């Protein structure tokens, strides 16, 4: 009844005339779902849901987090102890991050085991692998932001790995750390990556990934 009132309204007619909303709605709701699809095909959607939770809770914490070596840890403590429901927001952010990585790994295994990477879905697989790399990058950069002992040494170890690469190793390490040693430059770069650069990258590749899935449909059983 309510939906019929909306579709019969002049406002709806105005938008329908310009955007063809009904055609778009029909295309979305009439997409064929193969009979072999089961709960394991929902892993990608669960990963997306975890990301949305990550975005919402992370955005909320940016109002209180201070990305400086002197204040990062104390600002996280403030979120946990002083901000209303701050402990809940940060806990949800932390655990949904772990859940996102787990669901992503299971999703990759499901796609591989069901042959979802084969022709004509090679590019869908490639964008999925890129999304997996970005997801891990989110984890690495986010791990450092509390700037506690665990975060500091994790960054120091991870950023020092490329040093083993001949010729360009030292340059890469300096680029990752924002200087010759781990410090304010490192925290600033990781915060920028975590809150600005990586979200843009993952948004673009998610859009490409979903458009290709939409175009090619769900892969069949082996």
Residue 42 marked in a binding site:
yes
Alpha helices, DSSP H only, in 20-148?
A: 21-29, 43-61, 72-81, 86-113, 122-144
Question: Measuring CA to CA, how many Å separate 150 from each of 20, 116, 182?
Answer: 53, 38, 13
Tokens representing 213 are 């899935």
CA angle 159, 165, 170 (to 5 degrees): 55
Please choose, from the candidates 117, 133, 132, the residue with its C-alpha nearest in 3D space to the C-alpha of residue 213: 117
* For helices 184-192 and 149-160, angle between their N-to-C axes, nearest 10 degrees: 80
* CA pseudo-torsion sign 118, 119, 123, 124: negative
User: How far, CA to CA in Å, does 82 sit from each of 58, 59, 69, 101?
Assistant: 17, 18, 20, 29
36 marked among binding-site residues: no
End-to-end Cα separation, the chain, in angstroms: 44
**Residue 93, annotated as binding a ligand:** yes
Q: Annotated binding residue at 209?
A: yes
Listed residue (31, 23, 30) closest to 216, CA to CA: 31
Q: Establish whether 194 is an annotated binding residue.
A: yes
Residue ranges of the annotated binding site are: 42, 93, 107, 194, 209
Residue ranges of the annotated binding site for heme b are: 93, 107, 194, 209
Residue ranges of the annotated binding site for heme c are: 42
């Amino acid at each position: 009844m309510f939906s019929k009132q909306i579709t019969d309204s002049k406002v709806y007619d105005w938008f329908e005339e310009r955007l063809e909303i009904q055609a778009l709605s029909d295309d979305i709701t009439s997409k064929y779902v193969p009979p072999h699809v089961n709960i394991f095909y929902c892993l990608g959607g669960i990963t997306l849901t975890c990301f949305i939770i990550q975005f919402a809770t992370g955005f909320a914490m940016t109002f209180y987090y201070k990305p400086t070596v002197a204040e990062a840890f104390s600002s996280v403590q403030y979120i946990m102890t002083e901000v209303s429901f701050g402990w809940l927001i940060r806990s949800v952010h932390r655990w949904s991050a772990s859940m996102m990585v787990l669901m992503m790994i299971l999703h990759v295994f499901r796609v591989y085991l069901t042959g979802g990477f084969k022709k004509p879905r090679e590019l869908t697989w490639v964008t999925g692998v890129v999304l997996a790399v970005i997801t891990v990058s989110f984890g690495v950069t986010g791990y450092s932001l509390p700037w506690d002992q665990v975060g500091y040494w994790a960054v120091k170890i991870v950023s020092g790995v490329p040093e083993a690469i001949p010729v360009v190793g030292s340059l890469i390490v300096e680029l990752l750390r924002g200087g010759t040693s781990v410090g304010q430059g490192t925290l600033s770069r990781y915060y920028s990556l975590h809150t600005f650069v990586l979200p843009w990258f993952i948004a673009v590749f998610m859009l490409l990934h979903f458009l290709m899935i939409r175009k090619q449909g769900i892969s069949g059983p082996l």
